[in-house]
Amino acid sequence: MSDLSYPLGRWSRPSVLDAAACAEWTDTIARLPSELRVAVEGLSEEQLDTRYRPDGWTVRQVVHHVADSHMNSYVRFRLAMTEDEPTIRPYDEAAWAELADARSAPVGPSLDLIEALHERWVRLLRSFTPSDLERRFFHPEMDQPIRLDETLSLYAWHGRHHAAHITELRRRQGW
């Protein structure tokens, strides 16, 4: 693995944003909670506190980051569905990962949170019409509004990306 930061490669905007692709991305989001549980299953506290790459987050921080990030995304989807192109609030994910809970809390509560959150999120996503998926929000750090179908693609990749950080570390370490 030459690029430990992007074991699946970088996310790129999909060329096709159709119902089939959105259904596939939704299914990917639905599977993530169980895939993350399997990825960390049986890891010791020392292993959870191992960085997946030099200068990267620990496995523990990765799990907590997924919970933080996906909570924010879920709220952004809900805002986009209930407001006209809302401006969302960015957050400093690196700073969040350095808070005490992200550095030291057991991963179980975040895994439970991801499971419950994804159950709600997937239910919401599966209720969307094609026009719902065209709704947008504005991210102050971007140059243009972002569509929900594009964001769905990003978060399907995001979960797999971070699960791969853990599974690739386990593979490299022989865990």
Give me the CATH number covering residue 92: 1.20.120.450
Domain assignment present for residue 132? The answer is yes
Rounded CA-CA distance 33/27 in Å is 11
pTM of the full predicted structure? 0.95
pLDDT digits (tens, 9 = 90+) for 14-49: 998 999 999 999 999 999 999 999 999 999 999 999
Domain assignment present for residue 44? The answer is yes
- Is the C-alpha dihedral spanning 135, 139, 144, 148 positive or negative? negative
What is the Cα 158 distance to its own chain's centre? Answer: 4
Which residue range forms the structural domain that includes residue 154? Answer: 32-173
Domain assignment present for residue 50? The answer is yes
Domain assignment present for residue 54? The answer is yes
Report how many domains make up the chain: 1
Rounded CA-CA distance 160/150 in Å is 16
Domain assignment present for residue 147? The answer is yes
CA dihedral 113, 5, 76, 30 (to 10 degrees): -50
Domain assignment present for residue 41? The answer is yes
pLDDT digits (tens, 9 = 90+) for 83-98: 999 999 999 999 999 9
